[in-house]
Protein backbone atom coordinates (compact mmCIF):
# COMPACT_ATOMS: atom_id res chain seq x y z
CA UNK A 1 0.00 0.00 0.00
CA UNK A 2 1.28 3.43 -0.90
CA UNK A 3 1.08 5.99 1.89
CA UNK A 4 -0.11 9.55 1.49
CA UNK A 5 3.39 11.03 1.49
CA UNK A 6 4.56 8.46 -1.06
CA UNK A 7 1.60 9.23 -3.31
CA UNK A 8 2.26 12.97 -3.09
CA UNK A 9 5.93 12.38 -3.90
CA UNK A 10 4.99 10.31 -6.96
CA UNK A 11 2.53 12.97 -8.12
CA UNK A 12 5.13 15.68 -7.64
CA UNK A 13 7.56 13.73 -9.81
CA UNK A 14 4.89 13.28 -12.46
CA UNK A 15 4.19 17.01 -12.46
CA UNK A 16 7.86 17.88 -12.83
CA UNK A 17 8.17 15.37 -15.64
CA UNK A 18 5.03 16.73 -17.31
CA UNK A 19 6.39 20.24 -17.05
CA UNK A 20 9.71 19.19 -18.61
CA UNK A 21 7.83 17.38 -21.37
CA UNK A 22 6.30 20.71 -22.32
CA UNK A 23 9.59 21.53 -24.05
CA UNK A 24 9.43 18.28 -26.00
CA UNK A 25 5.88 18.68 -27.33
CA UNK A 26 6.04 20.06 -30.85
CA UNK A 27 2.91 18.72 -32.54
CA UNK A 28 -0.66 17.64 -31.93
CA UNK A 29 0.46 14.01 -32.13
CA UNK A 30 2.98 14.68 -29.35
CA UNK A 31 0.22 16.30 -27.26
CA UNK A 32 -2.13 13.36 -27.76
CA UNK A 33 0.61 10.88 -26.86
CA UNK A 34 1.51 12.83 -23.72
CA UNK A 35 -2.15 13.09 -22.76
CA UNK A 36 -2.61 9.34 -23.10
CA UNK A 37 0.52 8.63 -21.09
CA UNK A 38 -0.52 10.92 -18.22
CA UNK A 39 -4.05 9.55 -18.29
CA UNK A 40 -2.76 5.97 -17.97
CA UNK A 41 -0.44 7.00 -15.13
CA UNK A 42 -3.31 8.73 -13.33
CA UNK A 43 -5.46 5.62 -13.61
CA UNK A 44 -2.66 3.38 -12.36
CA UNK A 45 -2.09 5.64 -9.35
CA UNK A 46 -5.83 6.02 -8.63
CA UNK A 47 -5.51 9.79 -8.88
CA UNK A 48 -8.40 11.85 -7.56
CA UNK A 49 -9.49 14.04 -10.49
CA UNK A 50 -10.18 17.24 -8.53
CA UNK A 51 -6.81 17.07 -6.82
CA UNK A 52 -4.99 16.35 -10.07
CA UNK A 53 -6.60 19.36 -11.75
CA UNK A 54 -5.51 21.67 -8.94
CA UNK A 55 -1.87 20.56 -8.77
CA UNK A 56 -0.40 22.72 -11.56
CA UNK A 57 -1.78 25.85 -9.88
CA UNK A 58 -0.63 24.75 -6.46
CA UNK A 59 2.83 23.85 -7.76
CA UNK A 60 3.07 26.96 -10.00
CA UNK A 61 3.86 24.99 -13.14
CA UNK A 62 2.33 24.78 -16.59
CA UNK A 63 1.68 21.48 -18.28
CA UNK A 64 0.77 21.11 -21.96
CA UNK A 65 -2.29 18.90 -21.33
CA UNK A 66 -4.98 18.92 -18.65
CA UNK A 67 -4.16 16.86 -15.58
CA UNK A 68 -7.49 15.13 -15.51
CA UNK A 69 -7.88 11.35 -15.52
CA UNK A 70 -11.15 11.85 -17.42
CA UNK A 71 -9.75 14.03 -20.20
CA UNK A 72 -10.55 13.14 -23.82
CA UNK A 73 -7.10 12.78 -25.39
CA UNK A 74 -8.50 12.53 -28.92
CA UNK A 75 -9.07 16.29 -29.08
pLDDT tens profile 42-66: 888 888 888 888 878 887 777 788 8
Best CA proximity match to 15, nearest among 67, 51, 69, 68? 67
Within a domain: 70? no
73 occurs within a structural domain? no
Compute how many other C-beta atoms are within 10 angstroms of the C-beta atom of residue 71.
18
For residue 29, is it within any domain? yes
| Domain assignment present for 46 | yes
Q: Give the pLDDT of residue 29.
A: 92
Domains in the chain, number: 1
Amino acid sequence: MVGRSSTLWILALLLVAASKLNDMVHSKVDLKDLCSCLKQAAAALLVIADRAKSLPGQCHIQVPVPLDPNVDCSR
